Amino acid sequence: MHIVYAILDNPATKWAVLAMVMVMPLASLLTWAERRQSAMMQDRLGPNRARIPWPVVGRTRLWGILHFIADAIKMIAKEDFVPGSVHRGLFVLAPILALAPVLVAFAIIPFGPTIYPHSFTSVLDTYHLAAGSPETAAAFTDSIRLQVFQVEFGLIFYFAILTLANYGGTIAGWASYNKWALLGGLRSSSQMMSYEVSMGLSLIAMFLIWGTLEPGAMVQLQGSEPWKWGIVAWPFVPIGLISFVLFFTAAIAETKRAPFDLPEGEPEIIGYFVEYSGLRWGMFFLAEFIEIVFIAAVITTVFFGGYQLPFLDADGFRFGGEWVLVNGQQVHLGGAFAPLPHGIVTALQIGAFGAKVILLCWFQLMIRWTLPRMRVDQLMNLGWKILLPSSLGLIMIAALAKLISFL
């Protein structure tokens, strides 16, 4: 337990665990999931050739899951060809600018509750913890937040850091000294700038409702009661749902997924990474899927209660009863109560966060086979004539509703 505490108490190692143990494997598995999903929609077998030969039991295919490992080995083994006509420095920098920001952005996402290592096998005494009882103070001295950085401006950091990722595609197109790559980079930058505005404005309504920009505080305010989660946001019921629809639509465009994949759509124009091969091309490819995971994590945090599981509090499942304030902390009294050790509660809440993220990733992949690709004029009209005015109108409605709630 002391080793785990030493690892997770350091922000750098905490981010490394989050990125390498949770995010990268999930993003890699999404490449397999999309190929399997494509095969199902097109009535074919899909990835099924990669296998492990065993001496006795024979070949193990695992439904094609091994293909994403084979793809990684293939990209690493390929020649890293750099055309002689490119701007070499910027050509090398572009994939890094595309991948690094989306990994750094995960630092603000709370993927689990605060852990108290000394109480891992026992039920948390939340009442005395809130009351500041000296009998329980020692047990709660050491704690680990399952969030790399807790910053007050929270999601503003997200928009700032992801803006840097847009430079990756633009620089890749320009540094290639290829007119088709340049056009793809210009389309990418214009699309990203158009939809980032709507993404930010669509979340302002939620900032007004929660009164904070910090993702961890948003999760705490939503609590374990589903009707208080952001997508319902009781008593501001329609605001959360409309904000979710606007943000999700803009986020799909931000990830350059179908039907918004104009920067790299084969029928219209060659993408901005046409001159890339091997591992550098793989960095662009992986960055797209990591961004899918991140968008799912942001939506989970803001609209679906984050790591909260319905009716699961820090000390177990609670049904009914009421919440009261003790020394400024909310404490639940009365109702049915099923106590659980702190370790099990933590595992359930981390699992709930992971399940929500996976479902939202799957939903994003499904859209590829639901809607046809848009024309560039339709893309711009949707961003500037529909999403932007709708987001501004939602801000005014949310501000008015919040004002009325104070009266």
298-311 pLDDT, tens per residue? 999 999 999 999 98
226-248 pLDDT, tens per residue? 888 989 887 788 899 999 999 99
CB 208 within 8 A of CB 398: yes
In 3D space, the residue among 235, 190, 218 whose CA is nearest the CA of residue 305 turns out to be 218
Distance CA 4, CA 6 (A): 5
In 3D space, the residue among 200, 220, 218, 197 whose CA is nearest the CA of residue 209 turns out to be 218
User: What is the arithmetic mean of pLDDT over 355-369?
Assistant: 91
Secondary structure element (H or E) that encloses residue 158, with its range: helix 154-175
User: What is the arithmetic mean of pLDDT over 360-377?
Assistant: 87
Tokens of 30: 């999404």
**Beta-carbon contacts of residue 71 (< 8 Å; ≥ 6 apart):** 31, 282
Q: Phi/psi zone of residue 238: left (φ > 0), alpha (ψ -120 to 50 degrees), beta?
A: alpha
At 81 the pLDDT is: 86
Q: State whether residue 326 is helix, strand or coil.
A: strand
User: What is the arithmetic mean of pLDDT over 387-392?
Assistant: 95
Of all residues in the chain, the percent with pLDDT exceeding 90 is 26
pTM for this entry: 0.88
**Beta-carbon contacts of residue 245 (< 8 Å; ≥ 6 apart):** none
Residue 118 has pLDDT above 80, yes or no: no
Q: Own/partner pairs for 9-18, CB < 8 Å, 24+ apart?
A: 9/144, 11/107, 11/148, 11/149, 14/146, 14/148, 15/106, 15/107, 15/148, 18/106, 18/107, 18/111, 18/148
Distance CA 251, CA 292 (A): 9
In 3D space, the residue among 342, 350, 344 whose CA is nearest the CA of residue 297 turns out to be 350
Give the Å distances, CA to CA, from 303 to 38, 161, 209.
28, 21, 12
Residue 9 has pLDDT above 80, yes or no: no
Of all residues in the chain, the percent with pLDDT exceeding 70 is 85
User: What is the arithmetic mean of pLDDT over 284-300?
Assistant: 92
By mean pLDDT, which of 49-58, 156-165, 216-225, 311-320 is the weakest? 49-58
Q: Phi/psi zone of residue 117: left (φ > 0), alpha (ψ -120 to 50 degrees), beta?
A: alpha
Q: Which pLDDT band, with edges at 50, 70 and 90, does 56 fall under?
A: low
